[in-house]
Structure 1
């Protein structure tokens, strides 16, 4: 059975392609630019764009299961053509689907329900890769300046999201449900930065800003007023669901979730300083 992975060059998709290949499955990887995909040679890389259903006919042909994302394009806009995507998927005979969802329901999920396709929703609370938002500041200054009140977050490793998708696509985990995905530990930003410092061997300083100063910094960085309000609200009153580890990854995969310390070691180069050495 060939399994199609959309979003194949993203953090989750890339890991899913590798894990499926390691498990012995035939993989077709969908990307808008195959020449830049840099995926394993064993994967069949095909050109396609989820926003243009005309490019999907060949991608879905002969596919038994498919991993879908609910967003597309460089800026991650929510897909508005879910019904067309699902029509193409059904016409090709795809029998099983995993969906990597976002904060809100897109057009893809109700279309799958209406078509009667067996599918499951993967709902990560927060990606470990979100820590890369601090990478430039850590590389260039060694300092992270944010409004931080000590909230905790059980971030999930992208490879664990991929492992749950693999289980759904291959029938090891059931469809017809939502999989809430977190890591196995709830960490403060200070603890995450300590893990990054340990991984890089370089100090990282956390400077806690007042709300007023944080708003000024975010505005200077170009965020809209709405995004600034959202960022501050997320820090001051985060949804409780993100602060408590869920057992899903362990239940589905049979092993403990990967740790943030591991993720930091895997991505240490993204945080290593590019600051010029001080002159004597």
Structure 2
């Protein structure tokens, strides 16, 4: 039996593949272009697309555990639900699903609502799953390099309520650990839900102060202008995605996404260490930029 990884060439999926291989797991990686993909030795590359049910059926043959990562797209819910259904039909015993924090609360944000619908589907089908709900990725802020170094401004409008951002390596580590736990179990395991979060309640001003310290130069928060944010995103992404991101930031500004102490401690138990702090991420990133 093997573990099937979707989203296997992305920044999280590729880390999950590497971590599983390092633990000796038998891994199959779904990719549209196996001839272009670069995987660790021993990984079986399976050609497929989550909208191509025939290719997914083939890829699921002999698979006991599935890592389901579906990127933000207009048909995300179709891709995810079809894959869950096909996995159930194929006799997959467990799924580790990458959802999003506040999926059950931010119902007016399209990709949040889609992921919550998939969570509900798995529950109704009686599929044992680990639902991982990551917060906003720290690594998203690597894209802030030019405005911070060029203008001294942190432009992501996360607001004043606080967001407990998470490091992508912590996400991949949590996913790999849960995939291995389910793969090694002699019997199907019940559903678990983890909030994947960092230890800090980060406001726009707090993030700017952290970058001021890390860069050794003043960085100010650019404010909560959602029109400017949407217009900026729309310069390099489709309009539907820019609006989706706007709605997410609106909810961050309105409600925040601050992790509870229990969420942080539970994740630390899963990881076997504390989740990474934003200050550690910023200092390491700044060092790389300077180097």
The two structures have a TM-score, normalised by structure 1, of 0.77
Where do 5+ consecutive residues of structure 2 fail to align?
101-111
| Contact preservation (8 Å) 2:165, 2:197 | yes
How far apart, in 2, do the equivalents of 1:148 and 1:25 lie? 38
| Contact preservation (8 Å) 2:5, 2:17 | yes
C-alpha distance 51-150 of structure 1, shift in aligned 2 (>3 A): same
Partner of 1:278: none
Once the two structures are TM-superposed, the CA of residue 117 in structure 1 deviates from its matched residue by: 2.5
Match of 1:259 among 256, 268, 277: 277
Higher share in helix: 2
SS of residue in 1 equivalent to 2:141: helix
SS of residue in 1 equivalent to 2:170: helix
| Contact preservation (8 Å) 1:138, 1:272 | no
How far apart, in 2, do the equivalents of 1:88 and 1:228 lie? 30
SS of residue in 2 equivalent to 1:45: strand
| Contact preservation (8 Å) 1:144, 1:204 | no
Aligned residue pairs: how many? 265
C-alpha distance 154-218 of structure 1, shift in aligned 2 (>3 A): closer
Partner of 1:156: 166
How far apart, in 2, do the equivalents of 1:222 and 1:253 lie? 33
Partner of 2:133: 123
How far apart, in 1, do the equivalents of 2:118 and 2:173 lie? 21
How far apart, in 2, do the equivalents of 1:140 and 1:188 lie? 22
SS of residue in 1 equivalent to 2:133: strand
Runs of 4 or more above 6 Å deviation? none
How far apart, in 2, do the equivalents of 1:171 and 1:222 lie? 38
Match of 1:242 among 231, 238, 258: 258
Match of 1:104 among 104, 113, 133: 113
| Contact preservation (8 Å) 2:174, 2:270 | yes
Higher share in strand: 1
The two structures have a TM-score, normalised by structure 2, of 0.74
Q: Deviations over 1:136-168 (max 9, x none)?
A: 423554433465754422111122222222232
Q: Deviations over 1:3-43 (max 9, x none)?
A: 11111122221221111111111111112233443332332
| Contact preservation (8 Å) 2:157, 2:229 | no
1:185 corresponds to 2:185: no
Once the two structures are TM-superposed, the CA of residue 267 in structure 1 deviates from its matched residue by: 4.6
Where do 5+ consecutive residues of structure 1 fail to align?
274-280
RMSD after superposition: 3.4
